[in-house]
A and B are shown apart, each in its own frame.
Chain A
Amino acid sequence: MNAYNSIQSKAPAREWSRYRFPRDLFRFTALLACLLGLMFAIDFLGIDLARLLTLFGRVGEVLSERYFPPDVDYVMQGDYLASVVETVQMAYLGALIGMLIAAPLAWFASWNVTLSRRVLYPLARLFIMASRSVHEMIWTILFVTVLGFGMLPGVCALVMFCIGFAGKLFAEEIEVIDMGPVEAMRSAGANPLQTFCYAVWPQIQTAWTGIAIYTWDVAFRAATVVGFFGAGGMGWYLKRNVQQLETERVAAILLSIVVLVVISELISAWARHRLNRKRDANRIAIEAEAA
């Protein structure tokens, strides 16, 4: 025991520290840089932090004084309810056409099954990325400028939005498929279309259905406001009342949007849940067959 202690005391005492030299230097420098960046951003955008502190009180005040009793009668009118139906139809049509265009694009834009990696792949990728990057509001404004007011530009904007949204998800789903069936089809001499229909499609069918439901849901959310720039539906009523400072009507319209979106989300969640259960059941059946 004694000998042990003496060895211990003779060994050079090692300094233990919570801080390790290079790593912590980098860490603190990064933190400092973030804080400086934050200060710069607040300064550059001219944000008054004192206003931020009293923000919630003021938001509450504005809402309770100006927006409070929402004018429910306004949103129960026939005109407005008709616009709700129009919005639903717009979202339906936009999502459907968008997905019909997105499906072949996704096929071209997935690296593993695309028809030509040199030409079609980058083109389809670029198209999907471009339609995704431009916000649906900007698409709306552009289509309204070209086509005039009405629901047609709204549908066109939603189509572009859905191409970007669904195209990306569709392509991601194709890229993770099992390549075995594809190779089998190819070696048996199938043409690309046959390969897609019989080797790729069965593998992505359920996933694409889920994405399609989700796309419809998101498109509806976007459709409620595309009218803000003149593309028909509920958004037009929103715009008009915002500009006329009819705040109680605005409150009622916003409430109706929230209620409708929540309903559509519930329906889509229920449908996707059922679909997933079916997919799990299918997978179990396939695994059982394989075993």
Chain B
Amino acid sequence: MTHLVSLQAELERSRRRRQWVQLLMLALVLVTVLGSIQVIIIEDTDWDRVGSFGQIMESVGRFMALDLSLIPHLGIPMLETFLMACLGTLLGLFFSLPVAWFGALNVTPSKRILYPFGRFLMTLSRSIHEMVWALIFVAAVGLGALPGILAIAMRSVGFISKITAEAIENIDPKPVEAIRAVGGNNFQVMYYGILPQIKTVVLGTIIFEWDINIRRSAIMGLVGAGGLGLTFFRQMAMYNYGGVTVVILAILSLILLGEILSHYTRKAIV
């Protein structure tokens, strides 16, 4: 009986301690949030420039006067953006094959050197924003669609190769052993033993990434790779806010199209 009572007291005490910790965390979060609001929103903002609510609504209103005369000129940039996303995803897949091979623990050629290297490449590719990749490639290969494609490819490598490497690590090792046992070389092991097992996962991932890449390729024009981004940038530079809205609507419709396409392709594959 006394044992039970002491247990209850112990439980009560631990609950109270947990509540204290939670309260402390909440206070900490509140203080940091208030601090950030003070620094970022109140001190740093030029409230005269923002103006009153009416003035904000007025500048929003300028975007609402759609410039429909732009629509005939949007076809080619839309196609460019779409193709840039497709080629970027394809090139990204091409780059991610070796990275996935290095970064999968069970097939990597060397666990000491290439495995960490592959993992590092995956993190590096994902942690650099596509704008930054685009800046690097515009500096290296000049303006045009090529730097956009390369930037999208580099940004896609991380995700595709990470999922692929995880799929390779989770395969059933028996087919691989069977092919080894009948004398298959490394390439045959990969082609007949590993590839059939990871095919669906990789295809699903590529479709997913392609869908995201349409979104990314729509902004590549902002740093000098063509497509809808360039049209957006031009409309912005001309202060033609109605045109800007039309370009954004074009981007939205392209993405909607991509989402519908990827939905049906995924259904057809899986």
What is the minimal beta-carbon distance from A155 to any residue of chain B, in angstroms? 6
How many residues belonging to A are interface residues under a CB distance threshold of 8 Å?
Answer: 57
Q: Is the CB of A228 within 8 A of B131?
A: yes
Q: Is the CB of B33 within 8 A of A96?
A: yes
* Distance, CA A54 to CA B215, complexed state (A): 28
* Distance, CA A150 to CA B50, complexed state (A): 10
Q: Is the CB of B36 within 8 A of A137?
A: no
Q: Is the CB of A42 within 8 A of B87?
A: yes
Could you give, for residues 78-93 of chain B, a 1 whenever the CB lies within 8 Å of some chain A CB and a 0 otherwise? 0110011011001000
Q: Is the CB of B36 within 8 A of A93?
A: yes
Could you give, for residues 126-137 of chain B, a 1 whenever the CB lies within 8 Å of some chain A CB and a 0 otherwise? 111101100111
What is the minimal beta-carbon distance from B90 to any residue of chain A, in angstroms? 7
What is the minimal beta-carbon distance from A237 to any residue of chain B, in angstroms? 13
Q: Is the CB of A150 within 8 A of B127?
A: no
* Distance, CA A215 to CA B252, complexed state (A): 23
How would you classify the secondary structure of chain B's contact residues: helix, strand, loop or mixed? Answer: helix
Q: Is the CB of B56 within 8 A of A146?
A: yes
Q: Is the CB of B131 within 8 A of A225?
A: yes
B59 CB-CB contact with A under 8 Å: yes
* Distance, CA A57 to CA B37, complexed state (A): 47
* Distance, CA A146 to CA B64, complexed state (A): 13
Q: Is the CB of A150 within 8 A of B44?
A: yes
* Distance, CA A98 to CA B135, complexed state (A): 28
Q: In the assembled complex, which residues on chain A have CB atoms less than 8 Å from the CB atom of B252?
A: 130, 133-134
Q: In the assembled complex, which residues on chain A have CB atoms less than 8 Å from the CB atom of B87?
A: 38, 41-42, 45, 47
Q: In the assembled complex, which residues on chain A have CB atoms less than 8 Å from the CB atom of B41?
A: 93, 151-152, 155
Q: Is the CB of A261 within 8 A of B127?
A: yes
B32 CB-CB contact with A under 8 Å: yes
Q: Is the CB of A221 within 8 A of B140?
A: no
Indicate whether A47 sits within 8 Å of B127 (C-beta atoms), given known contacts A130-B252, A152-B41. no
Indicate whether A45 sits within 8 Å of B84 (C-beta atoms), given known contacts A58-B140, A133-B215, A150-B46. yes
Indicate whether A47 sits within 8 Å of B50 (C-beta atoms), given known contacts A133-B255, A151-B45. no
Interface residues of B in 61-119 (CB under 8 A from A): 63, 79-80, 83-84, 86-87, 90
Please report B residues at the A interface, Cβ cutoff 8 Å: 32-33, 35-37, 39-41, 44-46, 49-50, 56, 59-60, 63, 79-80, 83-84, 86-87, 90, 123-124, 126-129, 131-132, 135-137, 139-141, 144-146, 149-150, 215-216, 218-219, 222, 226, 232, 236, 241, 244, 248, 251-252, 255-256
19 residue pairs bridging A and B, Cβ less than 8 Å apart: A37-B86, A45-B84, A45-B144, A89-B39, A92-B32, A93-B33, A93-B37, A133-B252, A134-B251, A135-B218, A138-B218, A138-B232, A141-B222, A142-B63, A145-B241, A146-B59, A151-B40, A152-B50, A265-B126
